[in-house]
Structure 1
């Protein structure tokens, strides 16, 4: 006996309900099953599109201290607040680190440094020619008219912002801060080769060297437990690590090390995270 196949007519609303149920089931099934290959890898190098989130600190792996490193330069390189990195690795004041020492970012116990490198890191800045002293004719005016801070007078009047910061150099801003950590973490200021670079606020030099790739000859100044500033691409550094500086003091000469043109790259970091320097500098 044969039967004739036939279909019952389906109402439009029933069809939509059935289709919605199938789609929902497929989504739930996909959520319940892990993707092929295991856990999904999330790229944290760049912020989510349109959200302007900053690059997050490295939170896995470890770093072995090299000659010339300081705790501050390592924290700067890997996006950490130096106090937090010191606490994670149980490094107590005065925050000395040693060649071969392991700095961990994941909270695991750090291994002891090799026995052959038990002495603290001694940073010896490369010898630099002294600044030539130009003889000047004897002035007939009273001695009170003599300038006592020639490095500061190389720029227009050093007007401070309400928060106490001043411009680190005189020139047009040719690169602005980007909240996306993969782009510019500071501002770029154009200028001439050898132009003075000034400390933007009082502080202590915690790094002076060329060990951070992409910054050339770099100075990092610690202003407080919260703020540090960085000055990159210099031709010559005029300060050493551990040296205290005043706002407006000449700390370097502008150059093009590590980049393709003469400019100053200037950064401000708050608790290890880059912030827009223009929020702290005086309005022009």
Structure 2
């Protein structure tokens, strides 16, 4: 039996980081150093492709698209059994979802990383990499293998800043939608989080900054204030798409509250509910739709 070949795409992050004399970590390790003995333990061969070497908090949509491109290039080889992406945890959920939105292959793409640097006394990377490599052989679709869990990309969130079991899918698997690849620049898409008594200044500022879309992270099931409703209406009149999600960790948006600033009022002003998608992945979907020139209407919620 031929040993499965897995392409490992590296991007930096904590898994590629070491700590300097001042106690500050930064990504210093190249791709080959990150797989170690995990490939032999997982029973696979690996080909390493270094796409990036950065902290994932700095990733732009162009950077994330570079990862998508490297994954597609790897899967163009029929001899590749699957792909593993080593990624920083800060924006792993966003890159995973961008991959999921553009993944129409039966083979698995598995993202993982680590909470501890590679030079930690008890690193978590080896176990995560082993799990990801094994999952890349046996799984399908875009997945996150981390801290003993294997989760679907759509709906995954980072649930804890330091726990080794860092990711969860609080609402379970979400509907999948595969989008066509698009060229051209990414639109600016901002995220604004609502708070009690909020005015419309932040939304207006996004429009003034040239945003093509805004994700509004509402209170409760997707509520805000009359001032925010008015700002949403101004944004829509200026041609800016507004998607409504919630800052609550689990549960869908429900546009049922009124009283001038509730979800029903926001929807009437032109905000499109995001269903169960949370802000980070809603932003990725909105940006991808805008870039492709696709509809950002009521069907948005069916993707989340």
The interval holding the TM-score normalised by the smaller chain is under 0.3
Q: Relative CO higher for 1 or 2, CA cutoff 8 Å, sep ≥ 6?
A: 1
What is the TM-score with the length of structure 1 in the denominator?
Answer: 0.25
Structure with the greater alpha carbon radius of gyration:
1
What is the TM-score with the length of structure 2 in the denominator?
Answer: 0.24
Greater percentage in helix: 2
